[in-house]
Amino acid sequence: MAPPILKLDNIQHSFGGDDLLHQVNFQLLPGERICLIGRNGSGKSTLLKIASGQFEAQGGDIFLQPSTTVRYLEQAPDFDGFANIAAYVEAGLGPSDDPHRAHYLLSHLGLTGDEDPHHISGGEARRAALARVLAPQPDILMLDEPTNHLDLPTIEWLEGELARSRSAMVLISHDRRFLENISNAVLWLDRGEARRLDQGFSKFEAWRDKILEEEELEHHKLGREIVREEHWLRYGVSARRKRNQRRLKDLRSLRAEYRGHKGPLGKINAPQFESRESGKQVIEAKNISKSYGSRKIVDDFSIRINRGDCLGLVGPNGAGKTTLLKMLIGALEPDSGTIKTGTNLDIAQIDQKRSELPLNDTLAHYLTDGRGENLLVRGEQKHVTGYMKEFLFAPEQARTPIAKLSGGERARLILARILARSSNLLVLDEPTNDLDMETLDLLQEIVSNYPGTVILVSHDRDFLDRTVSSTLAPANPLAPDGKWIEYAGGYTDMLAQQKEIAQEEKRQKKASAPKTVNEKPAGKKSSNKLSFKQKYALENLPTQMEEAEEKASIIEAKMADGSFYATDPEGFAKAAKELETIKDSIAAMEEEWLELEMLREELEAGG
């Protein structure tokens, strides 16, 4: 095995009180892709900054192989001194790096490079920072929430870019699908300590749950042992003898260990909803349209949303998802067409900017509307600190200004306020931003069990697959023209249906095209039968495709091993080229089989 290019030993750090990081160890091998997992506030970003040299730990040692290049994705890029975004990105290149790569990355991230860095949005700043760290193709990439502010097409492009990269990586992300597709190891930060799993994120949750179960079992055994020792202390005659003082001392140590046990961090339990029932038909839009100047956002769109539906809106940034959402709930008038809302609607809403938060308010004041120490939670009086604990806020945070909360804590606070009130239409615009995975699980459970109707906008593929009953997307995602299509099921279901639609359009186009001599089967009976060669190919291509896919899977598994590139870079490059050839071959076989199958159906219909 190749030696590590980065190694951290006994890293210790705190911001007052208990250690945020306590004797944390980990190492990074060439080509390895570690995802860093943990609750908001567990020290993930702190550890990443320490590992990348952004600031020093209070204790421990860091070893970096000489001449190793490291790039860290900044949360708040410093644009001072740069005339435009291209200059900022190019400044991150080394003498031997290709400047054309910087412009390639900018274009794929939706930037021209000519933007004034002092007059861009937070999302554009984030994408510029991403281009800057990717452009030099460093030995180590440190990426903290790289998918934030990216739309789905760009996230999927980024996955491909990182999959082709030879850089070793340490990733922080709340996007499960992204981590499953990229990582081959996990470092779990939990209660100040780090545990490592040498498998990708897809195996993490089952591994974590097993560890927590074993830990609770050991804690239970410790409690039983203390009971036995206390029984001896009370009733054992020899307890007072000098030679048994050591046993008494051991009992005190057991008690201290038991009292000092920090169980798993609290779990948020999804509330039970009680609200008045809306009408069966919640929203009906007929032939609605909306334009800004010459640009059509929504064009002649109709939809009916019934009670109990969960509708997800997806699409690239700028496609008009938020505009369409606002029209559906009556917050924005369409230019033409009609929108009818049902009876008894009580709307609860989270927008993507968290704009409703009064930053100078305290948590308690915000949750109670300034009405003392209690609040009404779906008809029941609760003390504010008790309700806060249900959402993992400490009682002492009751007087904390909202401005001091992290992005994830602010999202959790909005959830707590919204869920305290009765509603039957839940509207969520980018609700997964800044949430840790445990809070994402809560949100998923809330949406899945919500007795009313849900409309949400999200770029989180896993969240969409787990929650929505139908998905609304632009008919032309590469160049949105105001046309929208509703698909049954989640994001993965939508992709499958889009593929079927594309194949059907191809069949129809081929069927309507004039036939040429070359397209007809050879031989005297070419008008109603396949040739022997065509029939053989039709029967055997599926088996050949399966064999090729199995071979591709073996190569992919081999390439996923972080030590492969380190020990045999030429072999890695050869494997990558072979994999590309196999995948091209599979695509060609699929195309040939589809054409033959269409021809067979056509001949049978004609015969």
pLDDT at residue number 314: 95
- Highest mean pLDDT range out of 100-114, 217-231, 248-262? 100-114
Show the CA angle centred on residue 68, arms to residues 63 and 70, nearest 5°: 90
pLDDT-derived band at 60 (thresholds 50, 70, 90) equals: very high
pLDDT digits (tens, 9 = 90+) for 129-188: 999 999 999 999 999 999 988 888 899 999 999 999 999 999 999 899 999 999 999 999
What's the number of CA atoms in the CB half-sphere (13 Å) around residue 122? Answer: 6
The radius of gyration of the chain's CA atoms, rounded to the nearest angstrom, is 29
Question: Given this model, what pLDDT does residue 583 score?
Answer: 83
**248-266 mean pLDDT:** 57
Distance CA(472)–CA(460), nearest Å, equals 14
Statement: 6-206 belongs to CATH 3.40.50.300: yes
% of the chain residues with pLDDT over 90: 41
> Confidence band (pLDDT; 50, 70, 90) for 1?
low
Categorize the per-residue pLDDT at 227 as very low, low, confident or very high, splitting at 50, 70 and 90.
Answer: low
Q: What is the mean pLDDT of residues 284-293?
A: 94
Quick one: which of 290, 313, 240 has its CA closest to 471? 313
**Residue 586 scores a pLDDT above 80:** yes
**Maximum Cα interatomic distance, the chain, rounded to a whole number of Å:** 110
Task: Kindly report whether the global pTM for this prediction surpasses the value 0.85.
Answer: no
Q: Which CATH architecture has domain 514-606?
A: Orthogonal Bundle (1.10)
What tens digit of pLDDT does each residue of 424-453 get?
899 998 888 777 787 888 888 888 888 899
Question: How far lies 513's CA from each of 506, 510, 595, in Å?
Answer: 11, 5, 13
CA 125-175-359 angle, 5° bins: 55
Q: What is the CATH number of domain 281-494?
A: 3.40.50.300
User: Which run of H or E residues covers position 190?
Assistant: strand 185-190
Q: Decide if pLDDT at 335 tops 90.
A: yes
Question: Directed axis angle between helix 99-108 and helix 152-164, to 10°?
Answer: 150
Pairwise CA distance, residues 261 & 240, whole Å = 29
User: By C-alpha distance, which of 108, 104, 140 is closest to 4?
Assistant: 140
DSSP string, 550-569: HHHHHHHHHHHSHHHHHH-H
Quick check: 426 and 26 in contact, CB under 8 A? Answer: no
Q: What is the mean pLDDT of residues 89-113?
A: 91
Q: Find the mean pLDDT for residues 342-356.
A: 78
Token readout for 541 is 């291509």
| pLDDT for the residue 258 | 53
CATH topology agreement for domains 6-206 and 514-606: no
Average pLDDT of span 203-216 = 87
Over residues 386-420, the pLDDT tens digits come to 898 888 788 889 999 998 887 778 888 888 888 88
pLDDT over 60 (residue 482) = yes
Could you read off the pLDDT of 537-565 as tens digits, one per residue? 888 888 888 888 888 888 877 877 767 76
Q: Is 23 left (phi over 0), alpha (psi -120 to 50) or beta?
A: left
Q: How confident is the model at residue 230 (pLDDT cuts 50, 70, 90)?
A: low
Predicted local confidence at residue 365, as pLDDT: 93
What pLDDT is attached to residue 526? 44
Residues 579, 552: contact at Cβ < 8 Å? yes
Between 480 and 607, the more confident residue is 480
Which of residues 30 and 247 earns the better pLDDT score? 30
Position 239 scores a pLDDT of: 45
Extents of the domains making up the chain:
6-206, 207-259, 281-494, 514-606
pLDDT band at 229 (very low <50, low <70, confident <90, very high): low
DSSP string, 488-553: ESSHHHHHHHHHHHHHHHHHHHHHHSPP-GGGSPSSTTTTTS--HHHHHHHHHHHHHHHHHHHHHH
| Measured distance CA(23)–CA(6) in Å, rounded | 16
- Can you give the pLDDT at residue 236? 55
Strands 33-37 and 453-457: unpaired
Half-sphere exposure of residue 296: CA atoms within 13 angstroms, side-chain side: 16
pLDDT at 248: 56
Bridge partners of 189, per DSSP, are 194
pLDDT band at 276, cuts 50/70/90?
low
**What is the residue-averaged pLDDT of the chain?**
84
User: Given this model, what pLDDT does residue 249 score?
Assistant: 60
